[in-house]
């Protein structure tokens, strides 16, 4: 059978996972990434058991475990520090068979880039559009100031929430919607880590949230959310963030005080509130945030991208009809991921309510929720199992 070619647009988590899987099942893969180079960016990332299974399937599970902290213990607290909900890594592992893991996003990106080393990884390529045909897809891009084109049997659009490809193939779709809040993220040095920070713990206030967890090197990854208009607080520095959370329980003030000011990250949160009619248009397939961007309230964005990549790899690994395989991908991925987009948005509205009365009711519900009920409620999200694993042309050593 002639070698099949694929162009993956976007060198993030989902794009690199797809490139790793496709290149190791017989595809000739080219990755077009608009950033000038692959560089360590971001802060921490939590991978739930479904994502851990996806990485095991891709053959990088051992690498994941070497650079991560096993977690599964989770908790909710009030501003004063009172516990509303707690679970342990042992409880999650007993139910799911594997724990969750917390690691630096750059480490995840690095292990996926290594796994995709057979692919042709091209940085500095800004994709401007795609032209679909019955058997091939043309990708148009700009690199080093010059326009260019490339063609392939398959194009995987993994170019994020503000995808260029999505409006090209679904021009009637309204695009991403602002979710109603912003996020701040950062990393504090190991000296700021309290001894009793064994898991990801989130503290909730009216219209505010703050979470933190330990990384393998001892540093503390923290994230916060703030209900605010789109574009608000763009000029805020770390002192401004610390003032927002002044008076919250320890160790929040200490973690913020120890964070290097230059490491502060701020983003408006967007999601695809309007679902796409399909994740496939001819020989173009959408993956990750390009297909189903969701709010971070379930911590499932990257997890769903990894599920996408594994599913796409499995269905396109054989010599069968590509159109049928892509139809199978759409059927396997669209309902599950779009359901999670809706659940995540509803969860965010509940957690981030700015109404003090509604916030107190939220806290009461969380306090009265047994841990076993919480774990059962997450079982459907965390319980995804990958399809049968095809023979790979190479394994990660």
Name the residue among 231, 216, 225 with its Cα closest to residue 185: 225
Task: Lowest mean pLDDT of 163-177, 301-315, 354-368, name the range.
Answer: 354-368
The mean pLDDT value for 276-282 works out to: 97
Instruction: Lay out the sheet containing 27-32: strands in order across.
Output: 120-122, 27-32, 4-9, 154-157, 284-286, 280-281
In what helix (H) or strand (E) does residue 211 lie, and over which residues does it extend?
A: strand 208-214
CA distance 150 to 172: 26
Average pLDDT value over all residues in the chain? 92
Question: What are the pLDDT digits (tens) for 216-253?
Answer: 998 999 999 999 999 999 999 999 999 999 999 988 99
The mean pLDDT value for 300-329 works out to: 96
pLDDT value at residue 365: 87
pLDDT value at residue 191: 82
Q: What whole-number percentage of the chain has pLDDT above 90?
A: 77
The mean pLDDT value for 364-373 works out to: 84
Give yes or no for residue 142 having a pLDDT over 50.
Answer: yes
Question: What are the pLDDT digits (tens) for 27-59?
Answer: 999 999 999 988 767 789 999 999 999 999 999
Give yes or no for residue 179 having a pLDDT over 70.
Answer: yes
pLDDT value at residue 126: 97
Give yes or no for residue 295 having a pLDDT over 90.
Answer: yes
Contact criterion met (CB below 8 Å) for 203 and 216: no
Q: What whole-number percentage of the chain has pLDDT above 70?
A: 96
pLDDT value at residue 339: 97
pLDDT value at residue 282: 95
Question: What are the pLDDT digits (tens) for 102-119?
Answer: 999 999 999 999 999 999
Give the HSE-up count for residue 356: Cα atoms under 13 Å, Cβ half-sphere: 1
Residue 397 confidence class, pLDDT cut points 50, 70, 90: very low
Question: What are the pLDDT digits (tens) for 191-214?
Answer: 877 766 667 889 999 999 999 988
pTM of the model: 0.95
């Amino acid at each position: 059978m002639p070698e099949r070619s694929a162009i993956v647009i976007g060198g993030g988590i989902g794009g690199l996972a797809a490139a790793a899987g496709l290149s190791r099942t017989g595809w000739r893969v080219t990755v077009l990434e608009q950033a000038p180079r692959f560089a360590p960016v971001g802060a921490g990332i939590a991978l739930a058991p479904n994502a851990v299974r996806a990485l095991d399937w891709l053959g990088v599970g051992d690498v994941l475990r070497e650079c991560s902290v096993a977690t599964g213990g989770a908790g909710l607290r009030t501003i004063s520090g009172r516990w509303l909900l707690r679970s342990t890594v042992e409880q999650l592992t007993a139910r799911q068979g594997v724990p969750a893991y917390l690691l630096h996003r750059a480490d995840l990106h690095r292990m996926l880039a290594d796994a995709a080393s057979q692919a042709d990884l091209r940085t500095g390529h800004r994709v401007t559009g795609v032209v679909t045909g019955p058997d091939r897809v043309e990708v148009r891009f700009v690199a080093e100031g010059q326009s260019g084109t490339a063609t392939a049997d398959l194009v995987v659009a993994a170019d994020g929430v503000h995808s260029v490809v999505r409006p090209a193939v679904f021009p009637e779709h309204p695009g991403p919607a602002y979710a109603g809040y912003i996020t701040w993220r950062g990393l504090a040095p190991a000296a700021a880590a309290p001894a009793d920070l064994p898991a990801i713990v989130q503290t909730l206030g009216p219209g505010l949230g703050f979470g933190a967890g330990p990384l393998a090197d001892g540093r503390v990854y923290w994230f916060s959310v703030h209900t605010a208009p789109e574009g608000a607080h763009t000029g805020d520095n770390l002192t401004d963030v610390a003032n927002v959370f002044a008076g919250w329980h320890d160790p929040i003030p200490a973690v913020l005080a120890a964070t290097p000011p230059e490491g502060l990250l701020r983003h408006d949160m967007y999601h695809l509130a309007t679902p796409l009619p399909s994740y496939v248009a001819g020989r173009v397939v959408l993956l990750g945030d390009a297909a189903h961007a969701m709010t971070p309230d379930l911590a499932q964005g990257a997890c769903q991208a990894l599920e996408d990549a594994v599913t796409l790899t499995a269905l396109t690994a054989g010599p069968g009809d590509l159109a049928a395989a892509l139809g199978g991908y759409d059927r396997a991925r669209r309902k599950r991921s779009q359901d999670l987009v809706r659940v995540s948005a509803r969860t965010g509205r509940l957690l981030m309510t700015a109404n003090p009365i509604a916030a107190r009711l939220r806290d009461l519900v969380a306090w009265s929720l047994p841990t076993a009920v919480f774990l059962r409620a997450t079982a459907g999200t965390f319980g995804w199992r990958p399809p049968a694993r095809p023979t790979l042309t190479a394994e990660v050593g």
